[in-house]
Amino acid sequence: MPLEKYQYLSNVWRDGIFDNKVVFCTGGAGSICSAQVRALVHLGANACIIGRNVEKTENMAKDIATARNGAKVIGIGAVDVRNPEALTAAAERCVRELGSIDFVIAGAAGNFLAPMDQISANAMKSVIDIDVLGSWNTVKATLPALLESAKKHRTDGKTEPPNGTGGRIIFVSATLHYTGTPMQSHVSVAKAGVDAMAMAVAIEQGPKGINSNVIAPGPIADTEGVARLSKEDGRDRSMKGVPSGRYGTVKEIADATVYLFSDAGNYVNGEVLVVDGGQWHTSSLGGQWVYPDFLLSGETVSNVAGGKKSKL
């Protein structure tokens, strides 16, 4: 349903800074990615969001479009980021119907909680394929359009760009692998790969005008990630491990996105922007599972939506 502006965007940004721009987002129906896209649409962009669930993706596209009168937001469901042909077709449709792809958010991801001795090879492969290969496929599918945008909207940092910014990509990662996180070995490996990919894109495509960066969210309140990966009765305790004293909001991830895609982010390339209230410095799962006792017990994670699935 339509949201109040301050639920997804701070008041510091000037309306219209993304006029005539187009954002392409995988995982766009998710709680964090939809807020990122909604903020960009509010500020003038049109959008194409990609997801696996047709109904959820199409409904979210309609909802995001309420952020600005006249906004065009396409929802393309039944697209698995592990399928390069499907992603390429989605990118081509985006350009055909909206005119360009100026910004890309690679946000599709997979996760569950389990120690490595309970993770099958198939489960490990699934997470790697969604996070790493999916991000790679997203880059490959959108790079031609991003390069075209970069040519049109290259900036020198001295004069205001007459046509705004373009040719930028953000990978949505995590902080799990910075110090190591129990029961997240699979995702830690995957997100480290995503971070490395973002740097490779910056180095290889930067000379052509592309800006490639990472946003690494910490625990964000009222999101699927927190619901799936933490116990409800342990969240108050885990918040004490966040130096800022609370979980973040989707608005704070959206604001970081606007910064990196805007004129303010012109000279930021190949970087990781951590938005976590300082949580990674105090580490891990916030004491909800006692370390190392839980791992030594051999128990399976329970009472969370993101516990290990037997089919994996």
Which among 21, 191, 251, 308 is annotated as catalytic?
A: 191
Which among 34, 100, 149, 173 is annotated as catalytic?
A: 173
E strands present in the chain = 22-26, 46-50, 73-76, 103-106, 168-172, 211-217, 272-275
How many other β-carbons are positioned within 10 Å of the β-carbon of residue 171? Answer: 25
Half-sphere exposure of residue 301, counting CA atoms within 13 Å on the CB side? 27
Residue of 62, 71, 72 whose CA lies nearest to 29:
62
Contact 45, 21 (CB under 8 A): yes
Q: Which residues pair with 26 in a beta bridge?
A: 50, 106
Sheet with 22-26, side-by-side order of all strands = 73-76, 46-50, 22-26, 103-106, 168-172, 211-217, 272-275
Half-sphere exposure of residue 300, counting CA atoms within 13 Å on the CB side? 10
Active-site residue, 149 included: no
| DSSP annotation string for 207-218 | GGT-EEEEEEE-
Active-site residue, 191 included: yes
Residues annotated as catalytic (active site), given as ranges: 173, 191
